Amino acid sequence: MSILIDKKTKIIVQGFTGKIGSFHASEMIKYGTNVVGGVTPGKGGQTHLNLPVFNTVKDAVNSTEASASVLFVPPTFAADSAMEAADAGIKTCVAITDGIPSHDMIKVKRYMRRYVKKEKMVLIGPNCAGVISPGKALLGIMPGHIYLPGEVGVVGRSGTLGYEAAQQMKNLNIGISTSVGIGGDPINGSSFKDILEKFEQDDQTKVILMIGEIGGPQEVEAGKFAKENMSKPVVAYIAGLTAPKGRVMGHAGAIVSAYGESAVEKVELLKESGVKIAKNPSVMGETVQSIIKGQSL
């Protein structure tokens, strides 16, 4: 098993015929992902990358029975594209797009409340690297060759730190069940806690690596959830230990303003929740390895 996607998941690409959508769709197909078509309004009926193009997500879902989509849509239209995917019955949508205005994401989050939990689409991102279940499917922009299939679940805000962790673990011959990039924006579709919950229910995942950063309460909330609800060990690395308070940080747009939002405070609160901490990014793989081997840190 894996979470969110597997070999059988039928996937469509929104923004299919654009330059970025075309490039990453072809990479996903090369990886072995079950891409069944794409959506570009006004180009329905055409063929692109030997796959059908549709005008709307609804048309694509009706024709292909797709259950997942990935957005390569400009920021101005990306929120509408996510809501369109939800209305069409897509179960997992990954929004790669960077630069979606926060008020647009608030609108999307409000819109999703009309669905009961079991029918609600899982939105990953925006401003994220996507999701990969190594050896099965890639729904995003990760470099697939650095991921070994295995039993470690990875969830993080930063795409590049996720790649670093994957490469470190590959060097140690440690595989990954699924890696999820939830995105660096202040308002995102899925939180660390949402993904930890899915990893807890996944038989393949035995250990979880959480890669967080300063700003916002999500990592601490995830730590509390892990302490109270999870049987699987959680390892965490928190970026930004040297960041000054009150400074806007580039990647996440994070402003450290409340208790529990600085990296130092997050590390302490996570330790209190029983989460093992990787002291710096160069030892993420080693820290996971020590947990797998049952060594004490």
Q: Tokens representing 216? A: 């916002």
Question: What's the pLDDT at 250?
Answer: 56
Is the Cβ–Cβ distance between 40 and 23 less than 8 Å? no
Is the Cβ–Cβ distance between 183 and 70 less than 8 Å? no
Q: Tokens representing 287? A: 């820290």
Question: What's the pLDDT at 258?
Answer: 62
User: What separation, in Å, do the N-terminal and C-terminal C-alpha atoms of the chain show?
Assistant: 29
Question: What's the pLDDT at 241?
Answer: 76
Question: What's the pLDDT at 256?
Answer: 56
Q: Tokens representing 250? A: 């580039």
Per DSSP, the three-state class of 273 is: coil
pTM of the model as a whole: 0.94
Could you tell me how far CA 72 lies from the centroid of its own chain?
15
251 carries an active-site annotation: yes
pLDDT in tens, 95-108: 999 999 999 999 99
pLDDT along the chain (297 residues), means of 10: 95 98 98 98 98 98 98 97 98 97 96 93 97 98 98 96 98 98 93 97 97 89 97 95 66 57 87 96 97 72
Q: Distance between CA 269 and CA 257 in Å, rounded?
A: 16
Side-chain half-sphere CA neighbours of 139 within 13 A: 35
Q: Tokens representing 289? A: 């390895």
Is the Cβ–Cβ distance between 193 and 220 less than 8 Å? no
Question: What's the pLDDT at 121?
Answer: 98
